[in-house]
Structure 1
């Protein structure tokens, strides 16, 4: 059995053809999140989304498989730093898996930068194992394609 260590950081940089304020709103407005969040094949029902976008606030939602509604992935994160239209930093803890003594903590940092009349975002998230980092990258890129469509890019 291979001992996999979760020490890989996912980093994605992407440019959206929309002003920074509109891109930021797409990450904090529950109505918009319901339209784009989750990779193709998953959705986030609007009634599962609860966001308090401030330092100490939270982000809660449930991704649901379109093919099997019993397959869900809940998100229950706490914002540790928020600068409107510039930065969202958060963390989420899961109960330890059998054999682990500590809860598993995942962080995410999302920066919003002006790029002319467009917006460059830099997403950092982890830690991941190598295998899971690849799946997370695919998921985010799929979600961002849906966000491009929402923003009219």
Structure 2
């Protein structure tokens, strides 16, 4: 399993979280960029991915649909801005409809329509540190306030998602040994 680092605290409008994984950077990168791997771990704990399409190029889109534990369908998308294999992914995150059109957060209409995410992959021997930097993009003051007030929820959601990535990497490591 990975080790969680950081406090999820704010620097300006930014939320940051890091996790150390017992896996080589290339395998962690693949987990973030290959649809067959992404659908095994991506999303909040308890959600299942039913749609996962990745066009990994600047301007390309990762479109995903998830079933929430209560049966609700939730859609989201990343629009990739920068891809530096295997070091960095930069993308705009939005809730979406099934066709990829931007929509409001189904649980909080004042959540920013767009957030900017930077995911960094740093290799240290046999381990990889993943650092996620997340902040509102083109947001109103009210949306920025909602983002800032959602830090506990972000910490919980990202921790669950990164736990699922740790489990996926552990399973894929065991499968490679067999």
The aligned counterpart of 1:132 is 150
8 A Cα contact 1:40 1:143, kept in partner: yes
Give the TM-score normalised by the residue count of structure 1. 0.81
The aligned counterpart of 1:39 is 44
Deviation at 1:36, TM superposition (A): 0.7
Question: Any stretches of 5+ residues in structure 1 without a counterpart?
Answer: 1-6
The aligned counterpart of 1:15 is 20
Cα distance in 1, alignment partners of residues 32 and 49 from structure 2: 13
Question: Any stretches of 5+ residues in structure 2 without a counterpart?
Answer: 1-11, 95-101, 137-145, 174-178
Q: How does 1:1-153 map to 2 (within 5 A)?
A: 8-45=13-50, 48-65=51-68, 67-69=69-71, 71-93=72-94, 94=102, 104-127=113-136, 129-152=147-170
Q: Which structure's relative contact order is higher, taking Cα pairs within 8 Å and 6+ residues apart?
A: 1
Change (3 A) 1:63 1:111: same
Cα distance in 2, alignment partners of residues 63 and 15 from structure 1: 26
Q: Deviations over 1:34-57 (max 9, x none)?
A: 111112211112xx1111111121
Give the TM-score normalised by the residue count of structure 2. 0.70
SS at match of 1:88: strand
Change (3 A) 1:53 1:148: same
Cα distance in 2, alignment partners of residues 133 and 64 from structure 1: 23
